[in-house]
Structure 1
Amino acid sequence: MSREDLLASLMAQARNEGAELVTLRAIVEEASVLATDRALERLGLGDAGAEDDLGELRELLQAWRDAKTSAWKALVEWIIRGALALLLVGIAVRLGAWDLL
């Protein structure tokens, strides 16, 4: 029995016998599963390889985040090194060590 058939039978049961809480919960659960399946199909993620594709996309996104973090760290390190180099040059000039060069 497919999910559509199961949902249809639950709806018929609710109509014929009255809507008990268990029946209503089953209807909601089956409807949500069907809606999820349809949404995944529309997004192109309904096939068997979709899980692997999502895993690869997550790995790619994590690699991008790691690269971005590394780039920012490297930029900050270079700015600090440049500032320290300028400070050392300033100290050398102030102490007269520039004349020794």
Structure 2
Amino acid sequence: MKTLKAFVVLITLLSSQSFAADAARGQKLFKSCVQCHGADGAGIEKQKAPRIAGQHEWYIISSIKQFKAGKERKNPPMLPFIKKLSNTDIADLAAYISTLK
């Protein structure tokens, strides 16, 4: 029984590490966002791009997925970029954006 418990714990730890978002990769993806949201994620009023810095990772993921599905605000310049993002890309991007203050 102890062996089974140890195995379950080990698998759980390994699984969580393999699914962890990669903020460094997200930073590279964020380069496409800088033109409108700014390097610090503070947003650019002239572009009508909102502040995204300081948002929780889960909120960013939810917002991007809803936008991609056409359920949230319309922003034609952003749509081509968003449509290309995979779920992994979205998670990585959100991991990076959530570090911005």
Which structure would you say has the larger Rg? 1
- Structure 2 length as normaliser, TM-score? 0.31
Which TM-score applies when normalising by structure 1? 0.31
**Between Structure 1 and Structure 2, which shows a larger proportion of helix residues?**
1
